[in-house]
Amino acid sequence: MKSKFHYLFIALALRINHVHAGLLVNGSFEAATNAATLDYISLSSGSTNIPGWTTTNAELTWDGPLLGESISPTLTAAQGSDFLDLTGTHDSPPYGAVFQTMTTTIGQQYQVSFELGSDTYWDSYYGGGTFTAPMVAVSLNGVVVFFATNNFPNLSNYWQTWSFYFTATATNTTLMFTGVNTSSVAYIGLDNVIVTGRGPPLVIVLSEPNSVVVSWPSSVTGWTLQTNNNLVTGTWGNYAGSVINNAVTNSPPKGNLFFRLVNP
């Protein structure tokens, strides 16, 4: 009995979760016109000029590749041509924010990543040359869930990658980035926002006598269970048995059997 359960764990303990494509529109704040052909555009709260995004909280600037014609030292995007400066042209609290609402699946886990920009010159512009680290708060449906701070006083035009995970609690999730410094600062850069879905957890549990239950959260929809008996030479195919409430019960296989969830 011991050896049988041992091989069952080996055969069934692997899970492979498919990852969704990016869910956001225009996460790098690009456009065919506007900022892409200018140095910058000042956008007031409530603007929808940036495809996919709405500005809020305060004025900000949408900066393009010709920004160097207006300021020196210049700043450039982390990804593509355009990026945001949440300090706008007013360089004092409150700072600008942007948000976008995306379709999510309740119970599904997602990863949010973004680039936060800082600069030794512009972030020392106020305060007598003392560097002030730019800060952003990230909100989901109006609740702050993550803070990021770029404390790199000796780096110019520096982009730091930040990321976190969340589990969706609604079919629509509004993602918002807000500059939250409490003193005057001349630059809070934002660029390259990416949201990707991660596969739901696949749970494998021994069930006496002589069977194994493979399941994933019953609240999660749109995923298909697949099996494969050889990860080197075999191919994946849809599970042939009955799936009830996102769970299947398996008798011992003749050899190895691997499971994964896929979402087209």
The ranges assigned to domains in the chain are: 2-18+200-262, 34-198
**CATH class (in words) of the domain with range 2-18+200-262:** mainly beta
Whole-number Å distance between alpha carbons of 264 and 262: 6
87 CB contacts (<8 Å, ≥6 apart)? Answer: 60, 61, 95, 96, 179, 185, 186, 187, 188
- pLDDT grade, residue 13 (50/70/90)? very low
- Coil, strand or helix at 81: coil
Domains 2-18+200-262 and 34-198 share a fold: no
Preceding peptide of 94 cis, ω within 30°: yes
Which tokens is 4 given? 């049988």
CB-based contact 206:5 (threshold 8 Å): yes
Task: For 86-115, write each residue's pLDDT tens digit.
Answer: 999 999 999 999 999 999 988 888 999 999
Question: Which element (helix H / strand E) includes 11?
Answer: helix 2-12
Average pLDDT score over the chain: 86
Q: Determine how many CB atoms are found less than 10 A away from the CB of residue 254.
A: 7
**CATH class (in words) of the domain with range 34-198:** mainly beta
Q: Determine how many CB atoms are found less than 10 A away from the CB of residue 128.
A: 5
Whole-number Å distance between alpha carbons of 247 and 240: 13
pTM comes to 0.74
Task: For 162-204, write each residue's pLDDT tens digit.
Answer: 999 999 999 999 999 999 999 999 999 999 999 998 777 888 8
DSSP code of residue 131: -
In a 10 Å sphere around its CB, with 0-12 CB exposed, 13-18 middle and 19+ buried, how is residue 243 labelled?
Answer: middle
